[in-house]
Structure 1
Amino acid sequence: MTIKIKTTFYLVLNVIFSIIIVLLNKWLYFHINFPNMTLSMVHFIVTFIGLMICEKFDVFSIKDVAIKEMLWTAMTFCGFVVLTNLSLAHNTVGTYQVAKMLTTPCVIMIQMIFYKKYFSIAVKLTLIPIILGVIINFYYDIQFNVAGTVYAILGVLVTSLYQVWINSKQKELQMDPMQLLYYQAPLSAGLLFIIVPFFEPVGNIIAREWSSTDIIMVLFSSIVAFFVNLTSYWIIGKTSPLTYNMVGHCKFCLLLVGGSIIFHESLALNQAIGITLTLGGIISYAHLKMKDNRSDILISKIEECKSLVHKI
């Protein structure tokens, strides 16, 4: 299999798995009211088992690192998965997806305030349609509820913090995403194992008469969650950020259609306008960031050439 065919294969798989996991989780919340934290814990356990199997087949190598180095990262990883799943459970699929788009401006704000990172005026301007589109979508969502909005906002904040921290931790420890996930998944599962009894009815879960369909759907959801991570990390490592962003936009649109068809979620005209604004802002942001990255690479190469000339 050539690298081009292999890349296309992984891109298609990632789109399919990413759509399936959102719709599967929504189905579990909608039809059997499966507890959110418990589902996240099962996902983490299955992901860790999957990573152990991958390591045995030399998909990646384990890097030794002190557990204390990974604890805060695991906590935020655990928090963002739980909160985004709670957002999915209490919002429509469309609103859940649109809310996630706020992660981009939130990450930029964190980097500007706490890391003094510079962003061009053009990049900052793309944040206006993103934020405005999300606000419009939430305001006109016919299933609007306070709990769903709170979970969505908290999910965005914790997800943004996680993304900033994981980027910093990856550089600090010189680890790839799968090596980090190998530590994050079991640590997060352990944290949830401790706190789940305080927030969710464990006794009801154990006593419930589970049908074979319920069990299969939970396991299927966990396996798909693992493959979402696996294909995402492969794409990030083997393609450009622009490719990954474009795949994200494709998933965004397909999930809106999927939520409308499977869960009969109606979409008001004003919501459609909000979604269009948000998507337009995200695409503009991705385009500008690619231009900035190419400029940075060019400047870096010029500086290297200058350095070589001086040495000669």
Structure 2
Amino acid sequence: MTTASKPQGEKASSLSSSKSPETPLYIKVIYMTLNIIVACGIVFANKIVFAVYRFKFVTTLTLIHTIFTWIGMMSLEHLGFFERKKFTQWDVAPLALGYVGYVVLNNLSLNLNTVGLYQILKIAITPAVVVLEFLLFRKVQTTRILMAVMVVCVGVTAAAVTDKVAISNLIGVAVGLASVVVTGLYQIWAGSKQKELQANSSQLLLAYTPQAMAILAVLVPMLDDVGFTHPGHDTVLGFRYTPSAIFAITVSGILGVLVSLTTFLVIGATSSLTYNVVGHSKTVLILAGGCLIFGEAMPWKRLLGVIVTMTGIVWYSYLTIQQAGKPQPTVESNGDAKGPSENSPAENGGETEPFLQAEKADTKV
């Protein structure tokens, strides 16, 4: 593993000094607008691939997305958005496994559930991370943060139990909950690895995507009906790849790369705080899109649950941002136990992009 020529703090300081003051307001607005469009667009594009074109091969689609991600991250590194860092294969192998697990389960959740329930369950990642950090590291949050997390849990539960589709689709709910747990574990793991290897998530993502592609290539024939012997219409090889279907799959892959790019641009031109706030607007738009594009119902009871959820997540974000502004030692029941790094994606209110975790990244714009 190579080390950077500058200390992390010095490097981050030099980068931050060249960020927002030189960026005109209209450029910031453009970056944020683009990020919102592509982040919402990838959810809708993936759902269209699953629901409209009936491309039900989740592992295959994840492999396609990962290939696009690897090409995109290579391009971003070449353009100077971040610096490549070398690691041993053993350093990043656990992250590759975690990445495969969380992306496959998230895509499967989107395939089996409505867009609204999928997004609500993603918000549940925040309380899941809080619980997992306590179980794994005995890390105890402040009373106010725990209260905010409780509000999120109440809202998510209310939104889920009032969803008639969710009640009749227990398998989808089970997969969604599994994706919440696995994503939470992955985020904690990734945060710990960032601290351990002194690297940001972009450097790690570029390093472990080749391993992730290899793992997915092995899993595709095990989890998807490839159709090596009988390539029927319900197999990967026999699927009717019409021009429109190919276009939809390609667009979903490109949008994943654009999510990564626009995340860099927003954080580079503004701050991770701004990105955090923008993330809440994405949640609202995705929920609205589920109703407008896919005709999902939004009865007042479910809407009330969504409002409670958003209130809790905004409160949680405010408290964590406030806490980051004036550092305080985290209360731990075991003084030797250490939790994940402060760059944990959980700070983004459970907003989990399929290809890049938002962080206080080193960003060149």
User: Which residue does 2:214 correspond to in 1?
Assistant: 190
Are 1:225 and 2:249 matched, yes or no?
no
Q: Which structure's residues are more often helix, by fraction?
A: 1
Alignment of 1:49-88 (within 5 A): 49-88=71-110
Are 1:284 and 2:315 matched, yes or no?
yes
Shift of 1:48: 0.7
2: CA distance, partners of 1:178 / 1:230 = 11
**Range with greater deviation from structure 2 (160-169 or 288-297):** 288-297
Q: Which residue of the other structure, out of 236, 250, 261, is the alignment partner of 1:205? A: 236
2: CA distance, partners of 1:289 / 1:209 = 48
2: CA distance, partners of 1:114 / 1:122 = 21
User: Which residue does 2:173 correspond to in 1?
Assistant: 149
Shift of 1:226: 1.2
Write the letter of the residue equivalent to 1:55: E
Question: Gapped runs of 5+ residues in structure 1?
Answer: 299-312
**Range with greater deviation from structure 2 (51-60 or 254-263):** 51-60
For this pair of structures, how many residues does the alignment match? Answer: 298
User: Which residue does 2:351 correspond to in 1?
Assistant: none
User: Which residue does 2:296 correspond to in 1?
Assistant: 265
Going from structure 1 to structure 2, the CA distance change for 1:233 and 1:297 (only over 3 Å counts) comes to: farther
1: CA distance, partners of 2:214 / 2:107 = 18
Are 1:28 and 2:57 matched, yes or no?
no
1: CA distance, partners of 2:323 / 2:106 = 30
Q: Which residue of the other structure, out of 146, 151, 158, is the alignment partner of 1:129? A: 151
Shift of 1:63: 0.9
Q: Deviations over 1:205-252 (max 9, x none)?
A: 112231101001111110101111232244445544432221111001
Going from structure 1 to structure 2, the CA distance change for 1:4 and 1:110 (only over 3 Å counts) comes to: farther
Going from structure 1 to structure 2, the CA distance change for 1:62 and 1:38 (only over 3 Å counts) comes to: same
**Range with greater deviation from structure 2 (216-225 or 3-12):** 3-12
Write the letter of the residue equivalent to 1:99: L
Are 1:101 and 2:123 matched, yes or no?
yes
Query: 3-state SS of the aligned residue for 1:191?
Result: helix
Would you say the 8 A contact 1:177–1:233 is kept in 2? no
Would you say the 8 A contact 1:242–1:286 is kept in 2? no
Would you say the 8 A contact 2:40–2:285 is kept in 1? yes
Provide the alpha-carbon RMSD of the alignment.
1.8
1: CA distance, partners of 2:328 / 2:33 = 29
Q: Deviations over 1:78-127 (max 9, x none)?
A: 11111111111111111111111111111111222222323110110111
**Range with greater deviation from structure 2 (234-243 or 155-164):** 234-243
2: CA distance, partners of 1:49 / 1:136 = 41
Write the letter of the residue equivalent to 1:3: T
Query: 3-state SS of the aligned residue for 2:199?
Result: coil
Would you say the 8 A contact 1:178–1:233 is kept in 2? no
* TM-score of the superposed pair, with normalisation by structure 2: 0.78
User: Which residue does 1:242 correspond to in 2?
Assistant: 273
Shift of 1:4: 4.1
Going from structure 1 to structure 2, the CA distance change for 1:200 and 1:55 (only over 3 Å counts) comes to: same
Write the letter of the residue equivalent to 2:203: Q
Q: Deviations over 1:246-289 (max 9, x none)?
A: 11110011111111111111111111111111100001111111
**Range with greater deviation from structure 2 (47-56 or 153-162):** 47-56
* TM-score of the superposed pair, with normalisation by structure 1: 0.90
Are 1:139 and 2:139 matched, yes or no?
no
Query: 3-state SS of the aligned residue for 1:206?
Result: coil
Write the letter of the residue equivalent to 1:95: L
Are 1:111 and 2:133 matched, yes or no?
yes
1: CA distance, partners of 2:286 / 2:150 = 23
1: CA distance, partners of 2:220 / 2:183 = 20
**Range with greater deviation from structure 2 (182-191 or 50-59):** 50-59
Q: Deviations over 1:36-67 (max 9, x none)?
A: 11111100001111222223322322211001
Would you say the 8 A contact 2:58–2:107 is kept in 1? yes
**Aligned-residue identity in percent:** 33
Question: Gapped runs of 5+ residues in structure 2?
Answer: 1-19, 228-234, 330-365
Write the letter of the residue equivalent to 2:193: K
Query: 3-state SS of the aligned residue for 2:236?
Result: helix
